[in-house]
A and B are shown apart, each in its own frame.
Chain A
């Protein structure tokens, strides 16, 4: 009876995990069901230990192992603060010398505490393991390598932690799972792992999306004064690669070209400094009544938006997978999305694509989805077909369990 420990210590109560939270919790709802003979221990942090109670079952137990969320964006270690200080104050040659010393030093990874439970496998759905015991095989999921591909979208802090977690993952894992071949290629490029160790398993958890009760939907829409079918939904945090500035630009161009249109855009996402900047920009552009910022909302509320929007719009510049576009399809909505990075691979031909760097292309996509009912039904149909092609949750969990078996058999 294999015992699998799952590292959920990076899970946060707020929205800063982004789509990965929906993925991880969705996966953990189905994995134990498909492997009733396995014992599952969810290693949690105090912040979200209680929130996860609903996952408990005969073969699933929670174990609170950390007071704080695994330090992802919390206070950086002294070393990092020193590095920041020297980057800001030292002249370039001295800085370069320091950097080469650091590069040498960095080849040794900080030691990880050993696993607090006895398990046959440690599974990390959040890339970087918080624990490591040499005799317990490790499987990590890497969702994207954007910090290497587009370093300028991140501050030094975030880059430091992403790099640390990725290097821990590739150093200690027997297998790494990626959501898309796009990400898999990057993992292979940036790690010594061989191609058999990196496995693509697309996320396909949408069979479980159930539309919320009509009354809940109506009251949620009333709260934001939204009318069904009259708004576009952009479910995304306000990270730089999410390209909200371009969406605002395109929306203003669209309204100028089609002044009779009453279209609105709903942006979800955890409030942060960037959200305030985007909000300020929207109000300076006279778009305050056209863009709604809901802040971080519950799954149920997000589902209410999915079922009642006109379409999901997704102008992201970078995705390792792009969960929200598939969720949109699962709710029977047309998807208009960017054509860069993993999105074309994930979406296939089931969306109306635009170049997210060209506002005019976004304008014409908005126009088509607001005015062409034939296009909408076609996209909805293609979306359904695409989800079938990608497989259902059963297949996905089978693929995960197969990787777990492989990892455990290598022990």
Chain B
């Protein structure tokens, strides 16, 4: 079986989609030496990673090869949005075509299309996405509802949301495959994503080194409205008002958009000496931060899964997160769940951990135990089974 695999997101500063694709690919590589994999670094009509040549994964497996790639954005866009007659031949005639970045191909005739469904946040909160990205993402899921032979949803929440939005799509076409924490899988010998050096990487680690273990609050996630940093800051400020000797709040994540005035917000709340904006962090730094934070805070307004929470749990962090969208499904009773619209609840939850060290210890244990139920090996086996069932 020949599998065409979209790796368009795994270069550069990875976010959710990129980590999902990267981890899935590395575990498929560990598992499968039979089937042939063709990797497409330029996939779809929207997302373009200019440095894909530099960030293309180094694969030490002969059955993983570079597939069709386009030299320019325009060439990529015209290939995918206006497919040529030899569309599938150019792709190397794959039996399976697996899309991992919202775009869904519509021109496959022989190949069976598998589509990774992350979330549909953009139909509930359209203002949290750039309009161009929103249009591309919606068209992607819309086409997936019509043209995908099988969908892989990263949570039951996303699966249900999709079926409510596209009620004519057959439910049996969608399986849930949970991602897992990438910090639990030390064996990456067969596959290594090229180490991209970011100017900020050293900076993030230097800043992290100045922190004292178990004496800082941590939140990880791109700085964008959906992640609800505003209310996190408000809750943190309320906590500070009640006890001025407060642990610093460390924010990790690339700067998204609509956040130009973020520093201003921090200053207006009088938190400039308490909040540390670390920027994008490498895995080494992240690992240390997750392991040593006093607690992990993730009051996001919308998630398809919520990978940072699971990563924090897998390294034994006590977790405070939202009771909306996919988060209750992932965290279960292994963390404090609250209404993300209420800053006072965030402050209260933080307070309860400060005052009740037993509660914190319990949550840390529970979080680690629960995270063990999610495994990339299981996920890769599920995906492989889906490929096999389709290719018959």
Q: Are A90 and B72 in contact (CB under 8 A)?
A: yes
Residues of B within 8 A of A365 (CB): none
For B373, the chain A residues whose CB sits under 8 A away are: none
Stretch from B129-137, B174-182, B205-213, B214-222 that touches the partner: B129-137
Residue contact B72 to A252, C-beta cutoff 8 Å: no
Q: Which residues of B contact A246 (CB under 8 A)?
A: 138
A359 touches B72 (CB 8 A): no
Instruction: Provide the bound-state CA to CA distance between A255 and B142, in Å.
Output: 17
B356 within 8 A of A: no
User: Which parts of A108-164 form the interface with B (CB within 8 Å)?
Assistant: 150, 152-153, 156
Interface SS of chain B: helix, strand, loop or mixed? helix
User: Is A256 in contact with B72, judged by CB distance below 8 angstroms?
Assistant: no
CB distance from A90 to the nearest CB of B (A): 7
C-alpha spacing A90/B123, complex, angstroms: 37
Determine the residue in chain A with the shortest Cβ distance to B139. Answer: A245
Q: Which of A210-218, A278-286, A300-308, A324-332 lies at the binding interface?
A: A278-286
Tell which of A89, A245, A256, A281 touches B167, judged by Cβ atoms closer than 8 Å.
Answer: A256
Taking a contact as CB atoms closer than 8 A, the residue among A89, A253, A287 that contacts B72 in the complex is A89
Q: Provided the pairs A245-B142, A252-B167 are in contact, do residues A152 and B75 lie with their beta carbons within 8 angstroms?
A: no
Whether a CB of chain B sits under 8 angstroms from the CB of A192 is no
Interface centre among A84, A88, A156, A245, by most chain B C-beta atoms within 10 angstroms, is A88
Whether the Cβ atoms of B71 and A359 lie closer than 8 Å is no
**In the complex the two chains form, what is the Cα distance from A359 to B135 in whole Å?**
13
Q: Tell me, yes or no, whether A355 is within 8 Å of chain B by CB.
A: yes
Q: Chain B residues near A357 (CB, 8 Å)?
A: 122-123, 126, 134, 138
Total interface residues in chain B, CB < 8 Å: 26
Q: Which residue of A lies closest to B79 (CB)?
A: A88
Tell me whether B75 and A249 are in contact (CB under 8 A).
no
When distances are taken between beta carbons in the complex, the residues of chain A under 8 Å from B78 are 88
Binary flags per residue of B138-178, CB closer than 8 Å to A gives 1, else 0: 11001001110000000000000000111110000000000
- Residue positions of A touching B, CB distance < 8 A: 84, 87-92, 95, 150, 152-153, 156, 240, 245-246, 249, 252-253, 255-256, 281, 284-287, 317, 355, 357-360
Given contacts A245-B139, A253-B167, A287-B168, 8 further A-B pairs with CB under 8 A are A84-B74, A88-B72, A88-B78, A150-B132, A246-B138, A317-B135, A359-B123, A360-B123
Which residues of B come within 8 Å of A, CB atoms? 50, 71-75, 78, 122-124, 126, 131-132, 134-135, 138-139, 142, 145-147, 164-168
Can you show 29 pairs from A to B with CB atoms below 8 A apart? A87-B75, A88-B72, A88-B74, A88-B75, A89-B72, A89-B75, A91-B72, A92-B50, A92-B72, A92-B73, A150-B131, A152-B135, A153-B135, A156-B74, A245-B138, A245-B139, A249-B142, A249-B165, A253-B164, A255-B167, A281-B146, A285-B166, A285-B168, A286-B168, A317-B135, A357-B134, A358-B123, A358-B126, A360-B123
